[in-house]
């Protein structure tokens, strides 16, 4: 009977330990986790609730922070796979982890453990010597590198105590636990330590739990250290007062948390799995009892995403929902409320609101004036009343008028829209670019970059959805600026004109003159002209027409003078001092001159057949010069 009772107690104890262990493991503090608190009872008049998530905030493993945590070891100091059995100062063989663990930027799935309280990712020391003597402080390449110390000191499992490693839990929070249970100190066998190091999947958190840590000052100066350092021994971190040295403690715990750029995101979902927010806080306003889910996703250094979630229910026992605020066009609206019981509408606003049924949550309503009305749906009466409010804005529908179509001999104009209500905006399309003085001004100035027909749209918006548009077409035609060129004087009856063309089609016409001008091309700005009849002064007009009655003209005065052809007659020799000259006149005025002496001409020097009398015998040269004005001269 005693044996049975003892066995029964043993079974009960084992079962109890199993239950406790599993319960603790399920809530292991370094696991990927999120907590949004207990369910909430919301007020019917204020159903909006701020939800707050608490997560284990981690980052990339290029850096760490260390913090004190409550001494609540998540795992017992006994149980698991024994290591360093009756052996001092050794590393274990390679232990394969069922998960990837990120440490100082690298991903590992194998470790070794040392009997002096160290976990190392440096597998070259597997089954080798685990140093016991040290004086260096973290970080230092003189200490084991790529290692976790928790605590690292010279202990001797060959004398007493046990070391275990254990892999527990399930995805996404498996853990590797290195345990020391009542292990003797070297040289001070009466002193013992119990401690454990925990590595967490997903968060890459390291925790150290120390139950007992006395100091053996007479051996290795009592040195011990809690900390971590990278593969070079140049970067590391320890808790305050726990770097290499003689120190004592009990019931102490530390957490090393990756503190690089955050490697987690938090998302919130409603009961339809619709994303409603991100970050550690969000606000929800349920109208009926609803549940919400917060999800944290940790991204491991190997690219894996590890997820944890929590759910909360917002209880709304009595709900009055007036519907969302709205903005509509016109004076009629259908309300969109809902209710858990009978209720009634009340309303205030700039006019009179008439409801078809003021006890119907989806009643139709007409108002007399535009503006914003406040509708209140109320359930119950007195202090127990539950109500909700919605704001409905009734907007006048605009009637846009962009003004009349136009055809212009310009590249700029002032628009002529007639505003109604709301805000108006101009837009335009066409062959070029339109520059507006103010796109919201109905009579704004506009300039077109090139001529052509442009479509302008004047759109008026009143409220968020009440719109009206009207179009106007404007044809911009560039006004020509005719330039017929400078006045021309020539000693001939033909010349070339020199107009400067701008835009449109140019045409030459004769405006005045005694004769008739012939144009080689009346549309060419550099047209040649001639007259076969009469010399004189002619006024010619260059007219440019760009269509749409956009016309410009300019005049040029052209003086055409026939060049004389002087003919003084034939040479002669005679024995007299008087000679009858015999010039053949052409045009203009002729004049006789003589050298080497001046002759006397009768009746005068302008007579082509004048008698010339010289003062003495000599050889005389008589010149007949004809001048037709404007420098048109010829001599013989």
pLDDT tens-place string over residues 453-483 = 999 999 999 988 899 999 999 999 988 999 9
Mean pLDDT of 387-414: 94
Neighbours of 10 (CB within 10 A): 10
Both tokens of residue 263?
A: 């490697």
Both tokens of residue 360?
A: 């119907």
Mean pLDDT of 339-364: 93
* pLDDT range class, residue 563, cuts 50, 70, 90: confident
Task: Parse the chain into domains and list their residue ranges.
Answer: 30-57+262-317, 64-258, 320-395, 406-476, 488-560, 578-635
- pLDDT of 532 reads 64
- Of the ranges 88-102, 209-223, 501-515, which one carries the lowest mean pLDDT score? 501-515
pLDDT above 60 for 8: no
- Of the ranges 65-69, 318-322, 543-547, which one carries the lowest mean pLDDT score? 318-322
Distances (CA, A) of 382 to 44, 359, 360, 385: 14, 18, 20, 6
- pLDDT of 493 reads 87
Both tokens of residue 484?
A: 């017929």
3-state secondary structure of 15: helix
Average pLDDT, the chain: 91
d(CA 395, CA 407): 36
Query: Where is pLDDT greater, at 309 or 8?
Result: 309
Of all helices (H) and strands (E), which one includes residue 8? helix 2-26
pLDDT above 60 for 421: yes
Residue appearing with tokens 């250094």: 301
Strands 147-152 and 175-184: unpaired
Write out 237-285 in H/E/C secondary structure.
Answer: ECCCCCCCECCCEEEEEEEEEECCCECEEEEEECCCCCEEEECCEEEEC
* pLDDT range class, residue 492, cuts 50, 70, 90: confident
- pLDDT of 339 reads 79
Write the pLDDT tens digit of every residue in 362-397. 999 999 999 999 999 998 887 778 888 999 999 999
d(CA 204, CA 266): 18
Both tokens of residue 312?
A: 């909360």
Residue appearing with tokens 């060049």: 563
Neighbours of 607 (CB within 10 A): 15
Facing residues of 195 across strands?
Answer: 180, 210
CA triple 452-458-459, angle to 5 deg: 140
Measure CA 607 to chain center: 97
- pLDDT of 17 reads 33
Write the pLDDT tens digit of every residue in 58-73. 999 999 999 999 999 9
Question: 488-560, what's its fold?
Answer: Immunoglobulin-like (2.60.40)
- pLDDT of 550 reads 92
Torsion of CA 61, 62, 68, 73, to 10 degrees: 30
Write the pLDDT tens digit of every residue in 531-540. 866 888 999 9
Query: Where is pLDDT greater, at 387 or 282?
Result: 282
pLDDT above 90 for 340: no
**Under CATH, domain 320-395 is a member of which superfamily?**
Immunoglobulins (2.60.40.10)
3-state secondary structure of 10: helix
d(CA 303, CA 56): 19
For residues 198 and 75, the answer to whether their CB atoms sit within 8 Å is yes
Fold: same for 320-395 and 406-476: yes
Give strand ranges (E) for 357-502: 364-367, 371-379, 386-395, 406-408, 412-414, 423-429, 434-436, 445-448, 452-462, 466-476, 488-490, 494-496
Write the pLDDT tens digit of every residue in 194-207. 999 999 999 999 99
Facing residues of 559 across strands?
Answer: 489, 537
- pLDDT of 7 reads 29
pLDDT above 80 for 46: no
pLDDT above 90 for 319: no
Write the pLDDT tens digit of every residue in 221-255. 999 999 999 999 999 999 999 999 999 999 999 99
* CATH pick for 30-57+262-317 out of 1.10.150.670, 3.40.1390.30, 2.70.150.10, 2.60.40.10: 2.60.40.10
Mean pLDDT of 179-207: 97
**Under CATH, domain 406-476 is a member of which superfamily?**
Immunoglobulins (2.60.40.10)
Reference 286, options 264, 261, 317; nearest CA is 317
């Amino acid at each position: 009977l005693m044996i049975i009772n003892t066995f029964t107690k043993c079974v009960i104890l084992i079962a109890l330990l199993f239950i406790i262990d599993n319960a603790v493991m399920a809530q292991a503090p370094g696991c990927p986790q999120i907590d949004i608190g207990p369910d909430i009872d919301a007020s019917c008049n204020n159903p909006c609730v701020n939800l707050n998530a608490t997560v284990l905030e981690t980052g990339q493993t290029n850096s760490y922070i260390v913090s004190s945590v409550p001494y609540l070891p998540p795992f017992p100091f006994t149980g698991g796979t024994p290591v360093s059995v009756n052996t001092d100062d050794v590393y274990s063989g390679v232990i394969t982890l069922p998960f990837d663990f990120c440490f100082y930027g690298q991903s590992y799935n194998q470790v070794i453990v040392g009997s002096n309280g160290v976990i190392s990712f440096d597998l070259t020391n597997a089954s080798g010597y685990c140093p016991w003597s040290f004086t260096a402080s973290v970080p230092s390449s003189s200490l084991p590198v790529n290692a976790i110390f928790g605590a690292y000191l010279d202990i001797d499992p060959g004398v007493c105590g046990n070391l275990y490693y254990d892999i527990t839990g399930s995805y996404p929070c498996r853990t590797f636990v290195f345990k020391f249970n009542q292990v003797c100190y070297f040289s001070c066998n009466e002193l013992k330590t119990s401690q454990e190091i925990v590595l967490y999947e997903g968060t890459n958190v390291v925790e150290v739990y120390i139950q007992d840590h006395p100091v053996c000052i007479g051996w290795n100066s009592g040195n011990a250290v809690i900390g971590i350092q990278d593969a070079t021994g140049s970067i590391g971190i320890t808790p305050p007062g726990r770097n290499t040295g003689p120190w004592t403690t009990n019931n102490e715990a530390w957490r090393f948390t990756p503190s690089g750029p955050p490697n987690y995101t938090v998302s919130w979902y409603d009961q339809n799995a619709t994303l409603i927010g991100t970050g550690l806080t969000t606000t929800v306003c349920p109208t009926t009892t609803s549940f919400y889910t917060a999800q944290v996703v940790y991204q491991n250094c190997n690219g894996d995403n590890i997820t944890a979630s929590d759910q909360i229910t917002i209880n709304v026992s009595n709900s009055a929902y007036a519907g969302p605020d709205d903005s509509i066009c016109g004076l009629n609206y259908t309300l969109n409320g809902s209710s858990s019981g009978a209720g009634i509408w009340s309303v205030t606003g700039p006019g009179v609101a008439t409801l078809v049924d003021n006890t119907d949550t989806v009643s139709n309503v007409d108002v007399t004036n535009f503006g914003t009305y406040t509708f209140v749906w109320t359930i119950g009466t007195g202090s127990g009343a539950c109500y909700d409010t919605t704001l409905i804005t009734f907007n006048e529908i605009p009637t846009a008028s962009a003004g009349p179509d136009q055809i212009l001999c310009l590249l700029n104009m002032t628009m002529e829209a007639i505003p109604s209500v709301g805000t108006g905006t101009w837009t335009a399309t066409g062959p070029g670019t339109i520059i507006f003085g103010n796109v919201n001004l109905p009579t704004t100035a506009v300039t077109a970059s090139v001529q052509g027909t442009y479509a302008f749209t004047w759109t008026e918006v009143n409220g968020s959805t009440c719109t009206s548009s009207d179009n106007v077409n404007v044809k911009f035609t560039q006004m020509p600026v005719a330039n017929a060129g400078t006045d021309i004087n020539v000693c001939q009856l033909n010349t070339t004109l020199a107009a400067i063309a701008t835009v449109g089609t140019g045409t030459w016409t004769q405006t005045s003159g005694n004769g008739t001008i012939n144009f080689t091309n009346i549309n060419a700005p550099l047209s040649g002209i001639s007259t076969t009849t009469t010399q004189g002064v002619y006024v010619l007009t260059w007219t440019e027409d760009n269509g749409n009655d956009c016309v410009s003209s300019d005049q040029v005065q052209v003086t055409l003078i026939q060049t004389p052809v002087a003919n003084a007659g034939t040479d002669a020799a005679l024995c007299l001092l008087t000679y009858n000259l015999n010039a053949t006149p052409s045009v203009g005025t002729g004049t006789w001159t003589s050298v080497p002496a001046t002759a006397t001409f009768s009746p005068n020097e302008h007579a082509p057949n004048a008698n010339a009398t010289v003062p003495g015998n000599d050889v005389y040269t008589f010149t007949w010069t004809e001048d037709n004005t404007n420098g048109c001269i010829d001599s013989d």
